[in-house]
Structure 1
Amino acid sequence: MAKPEASKSETPSLARTPLFDLAVEQKARLTAFSGWEMAVIYSSISKEHEAVRTSAGMFDISHMGKFALKGKQLREHLQPLVPSDLTRLQAGEAQYTVLLNPQAGIIDDIIFYYQGEDETGAQQGMMIVNAATRSKDKTWLLANLENAPVQLQDLSPEKVLIAVQGPLATSYLQPLVQGDLTAVKAFGHLQTTVLGKPAFLARTGYTGEDGFEVMLDPETGVQLWRNLLAAGVTPCGLGARDTLRLEAAMALYGQDIDSSTTPLEAGLSWLVHLNSQGDFIGREVLEEQKANGVKRRLVGLQMTGRHIARHGYPVLADGEVVGEVTSGTLAPTLAKAIALAYVPLNLAKIGQPLEVEIRGKAYPAVVVKKPFYRSPNRSK
């Protein structure tokens, strides 16, 4: 006997951020994403995308995991969990990096913000992780820090996170923030006040543009969103966030990188600091790959025509399947179809002709340099 379809009341409920009602109010189109009900489009992907590239857009990213870390020699205790040298970070600096398993597979990509020492000499930091991996990351961190004098506080349920991105992000945010935002360098961050309330602000983002990510309490977050909306900042959904990050060739966890891909395969060799630090989980695998080369690499593809290569589509060379597309779209800024794909190392060179199979037919593509788009507005 066939199992009856679940009624709406029986469907597992999706989590909602404290800004969810604002998305409904603004008649955003909603979608399920990593267990959350999120805005995917407010007006149109192209309009939202263009706003971030030319002016300013804002994203509700409150679904992201937010961990506050504190303890004596915090950086040194975190060091064995990542391939990047955290000990060189000064207060107010941050490092994009990855948590690795023993096979050097990527558990998650994260940003660690080092906040310096408090009056007791304990080091403090903030870690932002992906929404879908928050629980897994927390378990992994606690297990590996079990014998370390480090406290982890999960701020995810109690804090809002808003990304304000684009060349005019500073001018829109500045009137609402205490302190000079122009003094904050790329990947810089500080504790400040927004609309008179405490906030954590970082010059980071996931769009390839200059901009900031602001973490604050829900009530102030709602006020900040309304203030920015009234000032003319464009609300943006997950659709534009995806096209923006793909133009900038920023990896999406679960598609472009996962626990079966290493940072060297994923083109993230710049965050693997083999010469500047001691042992870390997965080091032996990365040393072997560094010495002998990887078998495959994540490359940028540009379609010769406007046919769009989507996630999961086969990549062909001489009629044979050699890889698979991980992400693909029609890039609004470039007006070209672009994609990321894993291919054998011998086919990963710039200019290499390949094909992508789309609905049973092969269409020409070429390996191109990443990122596909580099903004002239990025903060240095």
Structure 2
Amino acid sequence: MEELKRTPLREVYEQYGGKVVEFAGYELPTQFKGFLHEHHTVRERAGLFDVSHMGEVTVKGKDAKKFVQYLVTNDINTLNNNCVLYTFMCKEDGGVVDDLLVYKFDEDDFFLVINASNKDKDVKWIMDHKGDFDIEIIDVSQNIAQLAFQGPMAEEILQKIVDINLQEINFFQLRRNVLVNGKKCLVSRTGYTGEDGFEIYCDPQDAKELWNAILKAGEKEGAEPIGLGARDTLRFEACLPLYGNEMDESITPLEMGFGFFVKLKVEEDFIGKDALKKQKAEGITRKLVGFELLDKGVPRHGYEVVKDGKVIGHVTTGYKSPTLNKPIGLALVEEQYAKIGTEFNIKVRNKELKAIAIDKRFYTKKTKSK
């Protein structure tokens, strides 16, 4: 068995009571004081995540912009310097290779942030499609540690230890060479929780000092470390998709209901564009929908969705929502059953429990968007 990898913050987990599990080939904390407590900490105050297992790739050179435009479904032409774009990489048939963030430093300098569970696959995909583009692609994942500081009090706390006015960074914008507790970092107003917050990219050797400095700065406000358990419930409530759940190589962004991030009218080609145009023209046959479980129980990933004795789809993510205090989920179902108000059943073990389709935006995001 391959030895599990460790982030630069591995040795601080136990210090804060972290319970370690295997995730994406890494030893990572699933929780510290308990995922429910941590979930509410992020919703109400601020929480700090170690996300150093994420992957980072630089794309530089004369054709950098042209290449990234070809690689992803969103329109890179709309992206200004020092801004961030959410997008997908798709296969030729429209299935999702991964979702990612594209950071634009300049016309010839881009920074891609990819998911940990797909890191090797994504890097290979990017490299394999370099073609004749005049660019240099480098996997810099090992040279970067990443912290995410999320919650309504994140700005107020982080402001104490940075050398810039954080209010000048709007949602999906970035600043480079920011001094965080005296250490040079890239800071972006991004995150995976539905709350305002920041992602901080730093030198791995500075990660522990920054981790401790941020928690110390937020001691009075009740900032705490957060594990993977709360990270999943937080992103789910905000309807932020997870690879392997809401998306994979057999599901397209249009089926997910994320067509906003697929710009079919851009002049340039991108991988999967023809297939996605065809799918949109012909109409999608299945759709991601939110639902509330009306009977007592908890929906889980993989559970069948049933209507009149027929399996019409499956649950992609399900929880008893910590914020809403009721069992809700996301399910990929046949398109005719995706209308809000449609009733169907969720097969929990051998029992069918009643559910109703609802808006999948379960939680209103509080991100800074001015």
Give the match for residue 4 of structure 1: none
Aligned length: 365
Alignment of 1:172-211 (within 5 A): 172-191=157-176, 192-211=178-197
CA distance in 1, matches of 2:140, 2:19: 27
Deviation at 1:359, TM superposition (A): 1.2
- Does structure 1 retain, via aligned residues, the 8 Å contact 2:237–2:361? yes
Kindly indicate whether the alpha-carbon contact (under 8 Å) linking 1:105 and 1:259 is maintained by their aligned counterparts in 2: yes
Residue of structure 2 equivalent to 1:216: 202
Shift of 1:321: 1.1
| 2:280 maps to 1:308 | no
Which of these residues, 119, 136, 154, is aligned with residue 151 of structure 1? 136
- Alpha-carbon displacement from aligned partner over 1:165-194 (angstroms, at most 9, x marks no partner): 001111111122221111111100110222
CA drift of 1:55 comes to 0.7
Question: Equivalent residue of 1:80, what SS?
Answer: helix
SS in 2 for 1:30: strand
Instruction: Report the counterpart of residue 260 of structure 2 in structure 1.
Output: 270
1:92 is displaced (CA, Å) by 1.2
Percent identity of equivalent pairs: 39
Q: Counterpart of 2:125?
A: 140
TM-score when scaled to structure 2? 0.96
Provide the C-alpha distance between the structure 1 equivalents of 2:259 and 2:267, rounded to a whole number of angstroms. 15
Tell me which amino acid in the other structure corresponds to 1:161: Q
1:115 aligns to what? 105
| Deviating more after overlay: 268-277 vs 353-362 | 268-277
**Over aligned residues, Cα RMSD in angstroms?**
1.2
TM-score norm. by structure 1 comes to: 0.93
Deviation at 1:153, TM superposition (A): 2.1
Correspondent of 1:340 among 309, 330, 334: 330
**Match 1:65 to one of 30, 37, 55:** 55
Deviations 1:66-99 (A, max 9, x none): 1122111411121112121101211011110011
Q: After TM superposition, give the deviation of residue 195 of structure 1 in Å.
A: 1.9
Moved more, 254-263 or 298-307: 298-307
Output the CA distance in 2 between the equivalents of 1:52 and 1:255: 23
Instruction: Give how far 1:159 is off.
Output: 1.2
Q: How far apart are 1:59 and its partner, in Å?
A: 0.4
- Describe the superposition over 1:128-186 as per-residue Cα deviations: whole angstroms up to 9, x where unpaired: 00011111111111121132121122221121100000011111111222211111111
Distance (Å, rounded) in 1 between the aligned partners of 2:188 and 2:106: 15
SS at match of 1:91: coil
Q: Distance in 1 between matches of 2:288 and 2:24?
A: 24
1:128 aligns with 2:113: yes
The answer on 1:101 being equivalent to 2:91 is yes
Q: Is the 8 A contact 1:52 1:166 kept in 2?
A: yes
- 1:99–1:186: structure 2 CA closer, same or farther, 3 Å change rule? same
Q: Alpha-carbon deviation of 1:54?
A: 0.8
Q: Does structure 2 conserve the Cα–Cα contact (< 8 Å) formed by 1:106 and 1:257?
A: yes
Residue in structure 1 matched with residue 212 of structure 2 by the alignment:
226
Structure 1's consecutive aligned runs of 4 or more residues displaced over 6 angstroms after TM superposition are: none
Question: Does residue 89 of the first structure (1) align with residue 74 of the second (2)?
Answer: no
Matches of 1:237 and 1:198 in 2, distance apart?
Answer: 25
Letter in 1 for 2:198: F
* Higher mean C-alpha deviation, range 150-159 or range 91-100: 150-159
* Structure 1 gaps, min length 5: 1-10, 118-122
Shift of 1:111: 0.4
Structure 2 letter corresponding to 1:189: L
**In 1, Cα distance between the equivalents of 2:18 and 2:115?**
23
Whether the aligned pair in 2 keeps the contact of 1:85 and 1:277 (CA below 8 Å) is: no
| Partners of 1:284 and 1:69 in 2: CA distance | 25
